[in-house]
Structure 1
């Protein structure tokens, strides 16, 4: 091999991924972290903040649940509808408009708590729907910012940030609502969304070129609808992951009471689950793991489901804590690998829309599992509800695995 050939090979070889410290030292990544924090915090605070807003009103907790439901429905509707429009150079303006409308809706809720329930429900729906595409767009922007060899580590950072926000948001809402005013958490949510609008100017959103290497249909680039539909096995396993999360969160108080354990430990145990997920996201991004992201995701989901199911038989509070600790450690890995897998099915300039669709499917998965858990609890026992959630996850994972294997088999021939 000549010196010139060796030099050419060295130039073509991909650079090794950088560590977390070097990644976070990048100015664009730091700006992305700030904007993402501002955009995600309102989402994590909103459901509980709406409950605290009206808990002392005539409607009480029932009205709070209604408003929380309207907010989630807004997210589920807004993410795919608005996310499908996030393409090209107009993406930044569309995203900024959605966050601005969300900020206005949050502020209106904070200062208009005495309005009729119908008005509050409409505002809650707008607060959920208008900025719902921001999560997918910001994730796509992060993928644009970093070199290809650092995408896995960057998505691990994004997942860790998300899990950390969801871990601290309930305590922050309770502190503000009880320590200052019932509308204070929603006021903070409005301020965060407004500042996120300003921060969007600093991010390279909507600059992704058309991906000529993306999957082709009949020798041509697929339409937006076909490209988004191509990722349905990925969406399915994302819903499966949310089914496990819903099972762990919603059935925990009933499970503790069923096992004659203090119900007050529900919060600390779920905090263990969230904290473990934060650590798991960082660990996953530290090195390369065997297999491609698709296979890793399926394996991680199965392992996570097993550990969630084990909490019904592990002895005492310590056993439940161990089960949740281990399940949470694999949760972030599931989310990172799903995000990586989706990139293989969707052209890069449609990735923001695809991530938004996946976000909506996750909300559907959580809501559907919540309904199933309530139905099971009404007729059987909490352990049965936990096992049912784990079985549902395994079934969804199996369907996704079969679909992805069939689709990837021709390429291997």
Structure 2
């Protein structure tokens, strides 16, 4: 059963002693979380002239994020967040440099995809470490719920503002500007977050046993939440390629990023309100209902009129973006085994990014060979199918973490 959070609880969470520094550093580091991949997509498209090639490279980046987020989360649950973050920041800087060099040298598509994967797998998972931090700083209850809601809301803001910035920066004199700027923010924020006293001083308790290879994903409820997160990613992935393509066809490529930024207005405003009055109240019903509602709203984007109508439709559909992420985050309290919260959140990121990769790669093909409208309808259809599958598994979220026999403590 999830708690609802009032505005006073948000304030209490963000002013908790030891939270302010990490919160500010994570804001810097997480701002480009959806910017690096999409900036790379637009950069490659500008260099090669092909949305299909660009979609493959971006998909490679997202698959890298999907794998890297779980690996980093598992490591953080065992040794703390500071050392893994600092190590991945160094590798990330190296691979971004190599990736830009490859694009400038007109390297083969396969090499661009491989470097995209390397960039994604080494993106520092500041979001996972930031969310896990709240389990140590605030006790269970409305304040912790508000902290998780803040994490979800801010994450969705970055998933929307980042693409908007990418679309604007692709019009800069050099199309790779967005990649460099996004990487710089991620590196700066990652280092600052890792060196904060609250983060640097944390040492996780020693856990007995090796656990399952799948970690928290071994929990049936966790699988259901990951499926819902994948559906969320798939639907957004379709749209993130189709909207810039629609703007390009209309003769105004920079408007693609601006249009994607329209999501943020309704997403944030409605997301804060929804956090205080979530519906449906039971999490096991809320997750499939929100995904299905979002999929239905995406059909509005397929109505062939103008970019103005597209902006209005995105504004309407955006109302259900943040509520989904908030529900996924809240459900982790219910379905993730103890001591695995960082990795559990990593699995949610993995599911979202794999969904984004699938949605973007298929959307690129549909846009190029069928039409922009087909990508919007495919997004809606995929979202409804996955929402139905999540609904069929709703009992696993209601049941929470299965009770297993554990050795007696001596």
TM-score by length of 2: 0.77
Q: 1:49 offset after TM fit, Å?
A: 3.5
Q: Which runs of 5+ in 2 are unaligned?
A: 403-410
1:244 equivalenced with 2:235 (yes/no): yes
SS at match of 1:85: helix
1:135 equivalenced with 2:138 (yes/no): no
SS at match of 1:43: coil
Contact residue 59 and residue 358 of structure 2 kept, 8 A: no
Aligned residues: 389
SS at match of 1:250: helix
Equivalent in 194, 199, 217 of residue 193 of structure 2: 199
Equivalent in 153, 157, 164 of residue 150 of structure 2: 157
> Equivalents in 1 of 2:298, 2:398: separation in Å?
30
Superposed, which structure 2 residues align to 1:3-402 within 5 Å?
A: 18-50=8-40, 59=48, 67-109=57-99, 114=104, 117=107, 122-131=114-123, 133-149=125-141, 150-170=143-163, 172-173=165-166, 184-195=177-188, 196-202=190-196, 203-204=198-199, 207=203, 223=212, 225=214, 227-230=216-219, 231-252=222-243, 266-287=256-277, 289=279, 291-313=281-303, 320-374=310-364, 382-402=372-392
Q: 1:335 offset after TM fit, Å?
A: 0.7
Contact residue 80 and residue 204 of structure 2 kept, 8 A: no
Contact residue 159 and residue 281 of structure 1 kept, 8 A: no
SS at match of 1:401: helix
> Equivalents in 1 of 2:166, 2:365: separation in Å?
29
1:271–1:405 distance in 2 versus 1, CA, 3 Å: same
User: For residue 11 of structure 1, what is the aligned residue in structure 2?
Assistant: none
Instruction: Report the RMSD for the aligned CA atoms in angstroms.
Output: 4.1
| Higher relative contact order (CA closer than 8 Å, sequence separation 6+) | 2
> Equivalents in 1 of 2:84, 2:26: separation in Å?
16
Q: 1:341 offset after TM fit, Å?
A: 0.9
User: For residue 408 of structure 2, what is the aligned residue in structure 1?
Assistant: none
Contact residue 144 and residue 208 of structure 1 kept, 8 A: no
Contact residue 238 and residue 379 of structure 2 kept, 8 A: yes
TM-score by length of 1: 0.77
Q: Deviations over 1:206-237 (max 9, x none)?
A: 6565899xxxxxxx996352532321110101
SS at match of 1:21: helix
Q: Deviations over 1:3-51 (max 9, x none)?
A: xxxxxxxxxxxx9883333333335332232222232234333234435
Contact residue 10 and residue 146 of structure 2 kept, 8 A: yes
Structure exhibiting the larger radius of gyration computed from Cα positions? 1
> Equivalents in 1 of 2:46, 2:379: separation in Å?
34
Q: 1:366 offset after TM fit, Å?
A: 1.9
Contact residue 19 and residue 286 of structure 1 kept, 8 A: no
1:89–1:392 distance in 2 versus 1, CA, 3 Å: same
> Equivalents in 2 of 1:102, 1:359: separation in Å?
18
Contact residue 156 and residue 285 of structure 1 kept, 8 A: yes
1:123–1:249 distance in 2 versus 1, CA, 3 Å: closer
Is the deviation greater in 170-179 or in 70-79? 170-179
Contact residue 93 and residue 187 of structure 2 kept, 8 A: yes
Q: 1:154 offset after TM fit, Å?
A: 1.6
> Equivalents in 1 of 2:401, 2:12: separation in Å?
36
Q: 1:93 offset after TM fit, Å?
A: 1.2
SS at match of 2:76: coil
> Equivalents in 2 of 1:323, 1:64: separation in Å?
26
Contact residue 149 and residue 275 of structure 2 kept, 8 A: yes
Contact residue 168 and residue 257 of structure 2 kept, 8 A: no
